[in-house]
Structure 1
Amino acid sequence: MTERLRDGMRIALKNSPWKQIMVLPGTESRSKSNVMLPDGRTDIPLAFVEIFLRTQEHDPHAIIECKRIAGSDTHLCREYVVEGMDRFIQEKYGENHAIGFMVGYVLAGAPSESADGVNAYLRRVSRSVDRLAPSDISDGTWQSLHARSKPSMPIRLQHAFLGFAGTSASRT
């Protein structure tokens, strides 16, 4: 699914004014420079050509983490948080970023049910402060704001739950 999303993003960029964005393949990443072995694998790293050429910074400029999700599946909701959101919160991904991106591949139900399922998991583990709220960016998207170990550097996550045509998950 992630390969198809990556391909679609590349096609869309060919016909847009954002041609200076590179949609890279998933890569192993190290959360800190002193970490010797990679401790994460980003699903869709994005890099801006101009910034790379100017700074020679090889780390991605934005990261999209992708997870399977269904609001009624407590295991998938837990994985979305623990293996997705928490990688940003714990600075395994985007340590120097103020924003990160999550995509949920909705396997069953409506996208809003997936957001509700994630919020239900966060309530059960006493993390309501990390809840997903409807985003003002576009319909069908959510956002969350999280404190990190560096008090002055919280991270805002933008969430999109993508349904598939022909299933109940395609409803928004």
Structure 2
Amino acid sequence: MRIPYETPPALGREFIELAPEVVAAILLTVNAGWQQADTAVDVNTDAGEVLMTERLRDGMRNALKNSSWKLIVLPGTESRSKSTVVLPDGRTDIPLMMIEVFLRTQEHDPHAIIECKRIAGSDRHLCREYVVEGIDRFASGKYGENHAVGFMVGYVLSGTAREAAAGINAYLTRVSRTGDHLESTVIVDTNTWFSRHTRVKPSDPIGLHHTLLGVANVAGG
């Protein structure tokens, strides 16, 4: 029996833009998910990044049960940066799918990607890792090669979210990348920042939304 597709598959990959309300929905879902995850007894400053991300993923799924937002929170998965890449060259932390985007584009790969990192403004190593192993995965096209925006979550291990953002910006300044600085935003009423990064042409720059979340036992996060 032939499956009656409404339209033939599109050639190539459509560039995925997200409407402002979708971006806000994702940021709100992250924060609602963390409010649930942060109450788990095993989420603390000694927990590993993978455990925190699993708790965040579970919390986001629970938050969406009573929501009208049509987001699907997928497991972490191996990914290919481009269709020409044969073997997976990355592993995304929290991929998201949206039914409307799939119906329009028939794109089976994630429609939005959340990359998660541990962070502390006073820890130069963690600030460097946030950039090199986080931001730069989007800037290089390893993640979200056909996405207009991406998302990052920072698990703040010490100090405040603002101090964490300042630490990331201090690293970017040290490596002469002031144009990549995180800027505070008011998209939602939480600790969120935005940055924009150039990519290899012909791709347009990618915008990154950053949510910096205080970990349990952290004062002032």
TM over 0.5, shorter chain:
yes
Aligned residue runs from structure 1 range 23-172, under 5 A = 23-138=73-188, 139-150=190-201, 153-168=204-219, 171-172=220-221
Residues 134-169 of structure 1, C-alpha deviations (whole Å, 9 max, x = no match): 01213411100111112561111000110023322x
| C-alpha distance in structure 2 between counterparts of 1:43 and 1:83, whole Å | 12
| C-alpha distance in structure 1 between counterparts of 2:203 and 2:88, whole Å | 26
State the superposition RMSD in angstroms.
1.4
Does residue 14 (structure 1) correspond to residue 36 (structure 2)? The answer is: no
Larger radius of gyration: 2
Percent identical among aligned pairs is 70
Q: Specify the code of the residue in structure 2 equivalent to 1:167.
A: V
User: Normalized per residue, which structure has more strand?
Assistant: 1
| C-alpha distance in structure 1 between counterparts of 2:197 and 2:101, whole Å | 26
Residues 8-64 of structure 1, C-alpha deviations (whole Å, 9 max, x = no match): 11011110111x211000011111111122111100000012332454321100000
Aligned length: 169
| C-alpha distance in structure 2 between counterparts of 1:54 and 1:134, whole Å | 32
| C-alpha distance in structure 1 between counterparts of 2:187 and 2:101, whole Å | 25
Residues 99-121 of structure 1, C-alpha deviations (whole Å, 9 max, x = no match): 10000001111011110000000
SS at match of 2:173: helix
Q: Specify the code of the residue in structure 2 equivalent to 1:41.
A: R
For structure 1, the residue ranges without an aligned partner over 5 or more in a row are none
The TM-score, its normalising length taken from structure 1, stands at 0.93
For structure 2, the residue ranges without an aligned partner over 5 or more in a row are 1-51
Q: Specify the code of the residue in structure 1 equivalent to 2:141.
A: E
| C-alpha distance in structure 1 between counterparts of 2:129 and 2:203, whole Å | 27
The TM-score, its normalising length taken from structure 2, stands at 0.73
Q: Specify the code of the residue in structure 1 equivalent to 2:215.
A: F
SS at match of 2:115: strand
